[in-house]
Copies of this chain bind each other. A is one copy, B any other.
Amino acid sequence: MPEEREITIYDIARHLKISAATVSRGLQNNPVVNKSTRKKIAEAAKLLGYRSNTFASSLRSRQTHTIGVLVPRLNSHFMSSVLAGMENAASPHGYNLIIAQSQENAEKEKANAVTMFNKRVDGLLISLAYNTENLQHLEPFFKRKIPVVFFDRVDLHKESISVVIDNFGAAYKITQHLVEQGCHRIMHLGGNVLRNVYKDRLAGYQQALKDSGLPFLEKLHISGPLSEGAGTDAARYILDLAPEDRPDAVFSANDTAAVHCMMTLKSADLRIPEDIAFAGFNNDPISKVIDPNLTTVDYSGDTMGNIAVTNLINHLKGISNLYTTNSITLRADMVVRASSLKQIK
């Protein structure tokens, strides 16, 4: 019960009969102060149970050691991996995360950006909402030179860095894979092309078709929210097609839609992959549970979060000037599992 009142640097100063200024410097390990004095200060601090007052410090230094994280949703497997990776990278450097979600809503994203700004975060990590159309709400950050790092759902901005995977390449490869399995009527379940991830996946799919001499059919391209319901709806759409118009494969831009589409088709007694082969994106846990297992694209949210934070912190510490290059692309591996192997065409 020694802790009643907060201990300040003045208490340490008094205790050591030195000035508060020296204590302040000593606490920051400023090499300008005598090494033995520094040691004494550290000891006294521990002895007295001192904890630095972040506000007073922030008020003076204008640094919060806080990073704002703005995501569409918290509750997806991918995003929680990203956050976990971020937290792991930030914590050892003494940075904290303030996390907010936009609920895929541009308006809420805007509001959250204001909050982050007012909280004076040292930097911002952001993955854009489904329907965000411009970056005006980030202007305050740009204006004040507060570093912004985009990840996953990015937007090219010359003064910011982006961390993404090669969505085009992955989509290309997985589509090509379906072609190699003998599929030639490959349907695509896509998302809003306002977002790079969905635009690039669509483009990769289209390019792969083209390179294989297959036509891109509007009828076999559905764009939607990629939710469970969207997956079910897509299945209904397929079932409503005349048998000869049906796709022989589906490449979905995420696993959620793919899996729920599969489930509905299965309950309508279509065989997977014999009647319709499937491929998804994200390597969500459900992709390993569905029978047959879903072919999908694995990319580590953890790594992405880690890289985003590390780059931001390096920049904050002035260690790197990575902002000269403004995009970092991560590997994204394709996972080939049962679904494709069982393919008998």
Q: Spell out A's residues near B (CB within 8 Å).
A: 1, 3, 51-56, 58-59, 64, 66, 73-77, 79-81, 83-84, 87, 91, 96-101, 112, 115, 117-120, 140, 143-144, 259, 263, 285-286, 289-291, 301
- Which residues on B sit within 8 Å (CB–CB) of A119? 54, 96
From known contacts A98-B97, A99-B97, infer whether A118 and B52 are also in contact, taking CB-CB under 8 Å: yes
**Contact present for A118 and B286 (CB under 8 Å):** no
Q: How many copies does the complex hold?
A: 2
**Contact present for B54 and A120 (CB under 8 Å):** yes
Most chain B CB atoms below 10 A, which of A79, A100, A143: A100
From known contacts A1-B143, A286-B286, infer whether A55 and B120 are also in contact, taking CB-CB under 8 Å: yes
**Contact present for B99 and A83 (CB under 8 Å):** yes
Q: Which of B66, B96, B289 contacts A289 (CB 8 A)?
A: B289
**Contact present for B289 and A259 (CB under 8 Å):** yes
A91 vs chain B, min Cβ distance (A) = 7
Q: Which of B75, B289, B291 contacts A77 (CB 8 A)?
A: B75
17 A-B pairs with CB atoms under 8 Å apart are A3-B140, A3-B143, A3-B144, A53-B59, A54-B119, A55-B58, A73-B84, A75-B83, A75-B84, A76-B80, A79-B80, A87-B100, A99-B99, A263-B289, A285-B285, A286-B289, A289-B289
- Which residues on B sit within 8 Å (CB–CB) of A290? 289
